[in-house]
């Protein structure tokens, strides 16, 4: 999925986050959905070649025309981290076969990676008009959500459920949107349905986070245990587990969870959460050391952050903010 494509390896994952320091930590921990930057929507696509005339088909050594699978070229280019060239290849493929649902879907994913949410939404819609599929509705809903159109996002998810009640990608995306809005009971319901359809570490971790916010800590702890058992390599499952353990005053266990999380993915907020648990456990010296590590990481990130690109022709519908991630299934809470 795109927040990921679950069936598509190019989908993005928005991972669950569990930070000790706030009841709704991720609202302050990450930019909101309405702060996504759209850079050069029209100009990027035009420069990449969408809608342009197809390039001449190369000739084989014997002089015959060689058939080129532009859609396959686009997928290969996207896999190697060249989304602008992939967009151009998909444009050539659609010039030859304008009703190819998969190519519209792949083009939408590449446009999302370039920050063109409006263009991505348009091609998701075209793909669905040709061939409705639950995973495409899940991706389309995520884009609408990122554009601040929650009603349209929910409509896309409901259509996905109508096609396949067990559509895990749509369940995960909707649950994440509900968590962001503080609707933990309904979010927990959709996480449970996602687990019924396709158990995953992300779904168990997201459910654990929702249950933690509802104060059902023992149930939450069981979900975090399941998440870690399914995939201990994901930093967010340890962060979420640490949050629940800290609220249960299981400080030694929480410290271990946060240390595992920061070893997998060093994050400023995780260092600060770890420092908070260490301080609560009476280990002030260690807490100060972790806090300093978080400060140092924050300074390095600020120094390494490139200056914001100027948007030459921003869409009036496009929210502003930091550079967006590629699309994907929204797993749990945005990471």
- Give the model confidence (pLDDT) of 100-155 as tens digits: 999 999 999 999 999 999 999 999 999 999 999 999 999 999 999 999 999 999 99
Determine the Cα–Cα distance for residues 172 and 304; give it in Å rounded to an integer. Answer: 32
In a domain, 272, yes or no: no
Number of domains within the chain = 1
pLDDT at 68: 74
In a domain, 260, yes or no: no
With a cut of 70, say whether residue 305 has pLDDT above it.
Answer: yes
Higher pLDDT, 184 or 313: 184
Give the dihedral of Cα atoms 83, 122, 318, 321; nearest 10 deg: -30
For residue range 58-95, list pLDDT tens digits in order: 444 444 444 579 999 999 999 999 999 999 999 999 99
With a cut of 70, say whether residue 246 has pLDDT above it.
Answer: yes
For residue range 7-25, list pLDDT tens digits in order: 333 333 344 444 333 333 3
Cα distances (Å, whole numbers) of residue 231 to 8, 200, 224, 225, 228: 19, 8, 11, 10, 5
In a domain, 65, yes or no: no
pLDDT at 67: 53
Label residue 312 by pLDDT band (50, 70, 90): very low
In a domain, 329, yes or no: no
With a cut of 80, say whether residue 282 has pLDDT above it.
Answer: yes
pTM check: above 0.75:
no
In a domain, 131, yes or no: yes
Label residue 47 by pLDDT band (50, 70, 90): very low
In a domain, 99, yes or no: yes
CATH number at residue 102: 1.25.40.10
Three-state SS annotation for 286-319: HHHHHHHHHHHHHHHHHHHCCCCCCCCCCCCCCC
Domain extent at residue 172:
1-55+70-198
pLDDT at 156: 96
- Percent of the chain whose predicted confidence (pLDDT) is above 90: 69
In a domain, 266, yes or no: no
Determine the Cα–Cα distance for residues 243 and 251; give it in Å rounded to an integer. Answer: 10
For residue range 186-221, list pLDDT tens digits in order: 999 999 999 998 899 999 999 999 999 999 999 999
């Amino acid at each position: 999925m795109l927040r990921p494509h679950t069936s598509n390896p190019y989908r993005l994952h928005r991972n669950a986050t569990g930070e000790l320091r706030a009841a709704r930590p991720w609202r302050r921990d990450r930019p909101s959905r309405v702060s996504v930057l759209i850079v050069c929507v029209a100009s990027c696509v035009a420069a990449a070649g969408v809608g342009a005339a197809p390039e001449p088909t190369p000739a084989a050594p014997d002089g015959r025309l060689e058939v080129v699978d532009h859609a396959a070229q686009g997928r290969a280019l996207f896999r190697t981290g060249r989304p602008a060239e992939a967009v151009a290849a998909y444009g050539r493929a659609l010039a030859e076969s304008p009703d190819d649902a998969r190519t519209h879907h792949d083009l939408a994913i590449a446009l999302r990676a370039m920050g063109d949410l409006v263009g991505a939404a348009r091609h998701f819609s075209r793909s669905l008009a040709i061939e409705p599929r639950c995973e495409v509705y899940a991706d389309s809903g995520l884009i609408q959500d990122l554009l601040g159109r929650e009603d349209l996002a929910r409509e896309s998810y409901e259509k996905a459920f109508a096609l396949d009640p067990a559509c895990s990608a749509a369940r995960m995306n909707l649950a994440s949107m509900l968590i962001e809005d503080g609707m933990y009971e309904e979010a927990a319901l959709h996480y449970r349905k996602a687990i019924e359809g396709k158990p995953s570490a992300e779904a168990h971790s997201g459910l654990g986070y929702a249950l933690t916010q509802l104060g059902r800590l023992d149930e939450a702890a069981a979900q975090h245990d399941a998440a870690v058992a399914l995939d201990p390599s994901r930093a967010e499952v340890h962060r979420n587990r640490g949050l629940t353990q800290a609220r249960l005053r299981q400080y030694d266990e929480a410290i271990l969870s946060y240390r595992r999380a920061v070893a997998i993915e060093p994050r400023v907020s995780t260092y600060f959460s770890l420092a908070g648990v260490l301080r609560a456990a009476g280990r002030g010296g260690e807490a100060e050391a972790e806090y300093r590590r978080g400060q140092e990481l924050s300074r390095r990130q600020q120094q390494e952050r490139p200056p914001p690109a100027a948007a030459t022709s921003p869409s009036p519908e496009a929210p502003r903010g930091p550079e967006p991630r590629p699309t994907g299934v929204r797993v749990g809470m945005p990471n």
